Structures are given as structure tokens and as C-alpha cells.
Amino acid sequence: MFQPIVQFGTSRFLQAHVDLFVSQALAEEAGASHALGGITVVQTTSSAQSAARVAALANGAPYPVRVRGRQDGATIDQTLYGTAIRGALQAGTQWPEVRQAVLHAQVILSNTGDTGYALDVSDGPAMLALDGGVPASFPAKLLVLLYGRWQQRPDALLTLLPCELVQDNGDVLRQLLIRLAQRWGLSQTFGVWLQQHCVWANSLVDRIVSQALEPVGAVAEPYALWAVQRQAGLVMPCQHPSIVLTDDLQRYERLKLLLLNGGHTYLAERWSALQRPPAQTVREAMADKQQRTELEAFWAEEVLPVFDLLGQLPQAQAYLASVRERFENPFLEHRIADIFQNHAQKKQRRFAPVLALAEQHGATLPLLRMRAALESAELPSR
């Protein structure tokens, strides 16, 4: 039986995020129609770890998601179960089955990691044939699958919901496939179909999934958000309290980047400068009076004033309250040394936009901490 949702990627994140949302929606009262239906998961890499997850997911058995942390002042420690995954395929060995799954899908999800959009020089138009082999890269896999769908079901609309941590991920993936189609010499008609019969959604995912359970399952924090940019023709896999359809996705991206990611980066900056223990965690830093005071000053004096300029101070304050609880999660061992990796690049991505926003709105905010961090040399991790 074909499922209406096809998911590329077997990550623990999706198991505890979108897949769990669909599971909870399916568990609502019969006839409520809060979800399209089940999910078929597709492994896109040759990872042995992913292969083990596919083997465990293939029979559709429920898997545990342990939700642990603080929310609205209460400590949460409960186990939920994912039930929406009804089958799993390995692209490398079950390509014909993957083709059929995509042919019948209404929604395609993806979370293919930091390098998921990278191309491979070995991929080429010969792979469009039924016996042309399996492309190496995810974009080439998706192009071949969509080309087959265009040939057989040209009038069937399809929604694609990338969950990779790439800004404007839907737009980026769409343009990547259009360029790849042009490089392969595919017809202009197909290129038009990619734009007019496929809905490419930009989205933002926000949840810390700290640990995998074996063989499948995950440990996650209580907080969860999936913000999706609203557009005509969009079909969502389910309705869920943690899913937000919005005309202003940038607002959600900015909250996460400046308050959560920016807070992590400032903690790492001060952790290095203060020479705190190499194994210190975010939770331990929040309990350290000096580090906590400096972080709160960073939020209050440098980040929140920018949201005030934008007319978004109440939303920022509400989101910051949830960030504090997430940083104080008593179950999460989030080492600052791990956050410190690629620190110079993270400072540029997370602090420079704040300076640009303040300048854009004609504000004379000093933003001394961010400026000092951007000007400081990166110290070696310990």
C-alpha cells in the first residue's frame, strides 16, 4: 500500500519532530482528518547506521520518543510513540520501489543533513532511464523521481517540504533542481512543471533532539516548532499545535537565530574567554552566576532592543522565556565545547545580522558585546 507522505532521511530529528506530529494527528478521534496518512521513509545514503534504522522501521512498529525537559515551569519526562511510519526503503537497493512511492505521494519531506544539497559529478541524465542506476546525490535522486512523476502523472500536484537548516530551503532546493535540469538538457516543459505543479515550501524546524534510541527512537526536549510559509496549493501532512503556517517566516527565523542560536554563541564566546571547564554544559553555564548575568545582559541590552525596533518585542520576550527553559533543561548534556566548533563562522552568521538590522532601522544601539565578539580572534577549543 502506498503512503501519501514520502520522507527522505532517517534522522532521529524527524522521528521526534514531523513524524511524531503526524503520529499524534493520526491518533486523534476517528474521522477528524488531522493527517493525510502514513509515511514511507527513504534512506538516501549508504550509512550503516541509517540502514539499521531502515531495517527497524520497515515493519511499521511503533518507536519511542522520550520527551524530557522544562516547559511552562513544569518538569516533563514522558514517553510518546511514533506510529506514522508505515514502511522504509533503501534508495540504493530498492530504487524501483522508491520511484513508485514518489509517484503516488501527495507530500515529500526531507532532512538530508548539512551537505544534503551537495551535487555529485557522477550523476547525469542517463540516470533518468528506468535502468539508469541510482544517483549519488539527493538533488539528483529527487530530480530523477520528479521527472518520472512528470512523465506519468503530469497533472497531479505535489508539495515538497524541506526541513534542512537552510534559509529559504524550499526556494533553494527548487532552484537547485531547475539548474540541474537545465544542465542535463531536460525540456523547458519539465522546468515549467517543476515550478507550477510542485509547491516548494520554505520552512523552519526548531527542536533539540539530543539522543538517538536504538534501534529507532529519540530523546527530545518538550519545545517543538515547525513554521511553514503559507502559499497557494500547499498541502500539509497534518495539523498539529506545534505547526504554524505563516506569511512572515522570517520573523520565526530571526527569533531562533538571534535569541537561541545567538545565545548559544555568546555563551561559547564567554566560555572561551573565561576559560571555563572544557566539559561545561549549557545548563551548568546557566547556573554559573557570572555567565548567566552576562548572557542575560546580552539578551536584554543587545538583542531585545532590536526586536523592539521591529515592533516584535512581546513575541521576542515570549520566545526568550522558552529559550531560558530550554537552556536549563535538567536532562540535556549540551557541551559548550560542541557549540564552540566553527565559532568564528557562527559569530558572523548570528551577530552580524543584528548589527545590520539596527543600522537598517537607523538605530544607534551600541551593541558593544557583539562588536567585541566579532572583532576578537578565535581562541583554540580546549
pLDDT tens digits for range 208-238: 998 999 999 999 999 999 999 999 999 999 9
- pLDDT at residue 32, rounded to an integer: 58
What is the distance between the alpha carbons of residues 19 and 53, in angstroms, rounded to a whole number? 14
**Could you give the CA distance from residue 6 to residue 119 in angstroms, rounded to a whole number?**
21
Q: pLDDT: is 114 or 194 the higher one?
A: 194
3-state secondary structure of 227: strand
**pLDDT score, position 114:** 76
Identify the H or E element spanning 74.
strand 74-82
Mean pLDDT, residues 155-178 = 96
Residue 381 confidence (pLDDT): 46
On whether the CB atoms of residues 99 and 93 are closer than 8 A, the answer is no
Confidence of residue 377 (pLDDT cuts 50, 70, 90): low
Region(s) of the chain under CATH 1.10.1040.10: 250-375
Is residue 30 very low, low, confident or very high in pLDDT (cuts 50, 70, 90)? low
Mean pLDDT of 301-306: 94
Distances (CA, A) of 66 to 79, 80, 209, 277: 4, 6, 10, 29
Which residues of the chain does CATH 3.40.50.720 include? 5-247
DSSP reduced 3-state for 242: coil
CATH of 250-375, picked from 3.10.310.30, 1.10.1040.10, 3.30.70.380, 1.20.1740.10, is: 1.10.1040.10
Confidence (pTM)? 0.91
pLDDT of residue 34: 85
Q: How confident is the model at residue 33 (pLDDT cuts 50, 70, 90)?
A: low
Domain 5-247, what architecture? 3-Layer(aba) Sandwich (3.40)
The whole-chain average pLDDT of the chain stands at 94
Average pLDDT estimate for 278-294: 97
